[in-house]
Structure 1
Amino acid sequence: MPLTDVNVRNAKPRDKLFRLFDERGMYLEISTTGGKWWRLKYRFGGKEKRLSLGVYPDVGLKEARDRRDEARKLLANGIDPSIERKVQKAATIERAANSFEAVAREWFARQAPGWAASHSDKIMGRLEKDVFPWLGGRPIAEIKAPEVLAVLRRVEARGALDTAHRVHQNCGQVFRYAVATGRAERDISSDLRGALPPARHTHFASVTEPAEVASLLRALDGFQGTFVVQCALRLAPLLFVRPGELRTAEWAQFDLDKAQWRYTVSKTKTEHLVPLATQAVAMLRDLYALTGHRQYVFPGRDVKKPMSGAAINAALRRMGFDTKTEITGHGFRAMARTILHEQLRFPSEVIEHQLAHKVPDALGTAYNRTRFIDDRIVMMQRWADYLDELKSRDSVVSDQAGKN
């Protein structure tokens, strides 16, 4: 007699495992603890075999019979359902391992050691927020260009066009890695070139006119905040390093007797050498009396940590500067680059090396921390003297104007 739902539901455990048989080789196996498993008994290749069809009540009688019938169709076509199940399970595991998210995280793990932490955080943040929720679980080889475009459109719709372009770029990097590792045929994101409106790139606000620079320098000298922030503000134009590198500077990196600062560039992971003008050395020696026993040159409120990343721009705003249109902490680099070349006539390659930019030379060298070092020592001192001259000259002009 075929089983009924009532038979299955009311079956009670016994002292030994027992079975209730249905039709066409299917039966319900009841353990001594009350567990109930659907099984199919069949023969393949002359051997008797069994196939699990699920656990009751998760799999009811009707669904168990449907699974039985699917297995018997495979048998009719000469396929062992047990082997087929293993093949499908392996394929599922492979699909999961080759999902967009799995490939993206593998690509990220290989690339991230060469990136600055802030850069890594931004890339993974974009993927986790804007891509994985929609494409993360999809096998990367099956993703089509319109699916990626839909992801980009969502980012664009919230007004983040520049981020949409960066998401597009990151997706392309993941797809190309999938191609290189044999998990995709091609980078389908390349089909989306031109699909997004061009992003409007803005440069960091900066001051490059000498008279305006003089006013800015005098404002920095008159800053009424803490001595640590005051020193950071006054050193920023002298050193023109990236703001993050300035605020995280450590005393162990400095040799004030040799007038040198050596550190690893956050963006390129290369060692960089900053020659220190006499004015910079004097400021640092003054600051050393206050923070020299600490790790960081510019400690924050928690002295075990560096100054906040927002401290420089916040100080500039307190002095009345618009950090979006006038000057920002990063703008001191543009100031130095422009004036050193246009006003002081230093060669571009010397300036670019001091900015720690990658400048390929005839020998193919991307960056050499000691290249043009003699020229850079002269340049850094001339730059510091020029800034002092600007302040002094502008002050004299202002005094004369006041008398007239």
Structure 2
Amino acid sequence: MLSDAKVRAAKPRPKSYKLTDTNRLFLLVTPSGGKLWRWNYSYDGKQKTMAFGAWPQVGLADARAKRDEASGHLMEGDDPTILRKLKVVAKLEAGRQTFERVARAWHENARSQWAIVHAADIIRSLERDVFPAIGDMPIAQLTPPLVLSVLREIEARGAIETAKRVRQRISAVFIYGIAEGIATSDPAEKLGAVLKPLRKGRQPAITDLVPLRRMIRTAEEDYARPVTRLALRLLALTAVRPSELRGAQWDEFEDLNGSEPLWRIPAWRMKGDADRKDELHGDHLVPITPQALAVLRAVWPLTGEGPLVFPSNRHAHRPMSENAIGYLLNRAGYHGHHVPHGFRAAFSTIMNEWAEREGKEHDRKVIDLMLAHVPTGKVEGAYNRAAYMPRRRELAMAWANMLSDGLSAPSVLLDLPAKAMGPQSRRRVPPPVDIEFRFPTRRRSSAKVVAR
């Protein structure tokens, strides 16, 4: 029977020799001085030898523990050498079964039950928010804290609803993995209870300038029709209501080639009751800044031949879908955090804070005018909607300068893809207008194109 002292004292000889321990365990000492643990056993009438490693990395006690474990497998009728090989193969395969690999297999398996757009949104959310963090990790090694850290990153940018949706998708991947024998548990299952709750009440909006610009950049880089991207940009710059933007007609814009371009939204298209819509001189006046004018120049080659600035993709005589901009924000990861109407809250909050620092006495009233809000105590019909126009232009310019800092030029948005495209794509975008372009003069139409 061996002891630690005997193992240490063993010296090399010209030929290899054995020092035996109990239950057929022995130490093989080689001429070069190596000391290797071996164990002889019989299986299916054949004599076999199993290696347990080299001393001193594997000590005597460890070698005996390995022998006892292998002997236990042998008593159960298993060949311990074969079991070891199977474990190695299983571990290698488990290492190859990364979360991203399993997630893509789950997505491919389930995509037939989803609409094409929804299926693309699901895989894009995983590619954006999950794969960079845990995509290359073996799915079987993921733990609740690791998954929660991914969801906390999404919450940190304010996308509370997106975090909840991504948790559901991660959980679905684990359920698929369990069914396939790749995973044994779902670490995302119970995490819904510790995520931040959704805010109720007012429509969600980002009201801090830097995150707002980041959100616009992220949304504009996502897949969307150029018209939708440009509509998002003009909505942010003008802070009009989404329905007012969608129904915008080219003949509502005045002096686009002059020094004081203006968007005159007719009273009948504004929010309000019948008296508001029939009000004489009740049009809402929106100063057009150079940044907003650049959007109109960019969209002109796409829609300038028709009456609507932002028409439907399928029907040029109808406004774009009321969901188009909202879906773009959702795909960009801002579901539940910012909606198209939220640009009005962002404009109000940021500009009122700016007015406190750098503005003039009546700027709060001017900001309300720009949002088409009627001050308390005013009668609709007696309210001067054209008041403070010079100051409104100044505030619109201040807002456009702050908002546009770091954003791409509107013309750049034309070249971004509407969807994933292969090398043989035949998509062609009309060339942008040149620097000498002049908007043609249009007569104002009396026809009403209602944004449904």
User: Scaled by the length of structure 2, what TM-score is found?
Assistant: 0.41
User: Scaled by the length of structure 1, what TM-score is found?
Assistant: 0.45
Higher relative CO (CA 8 A, sep ≥ 6), structure 1 or 2? Answer: 2
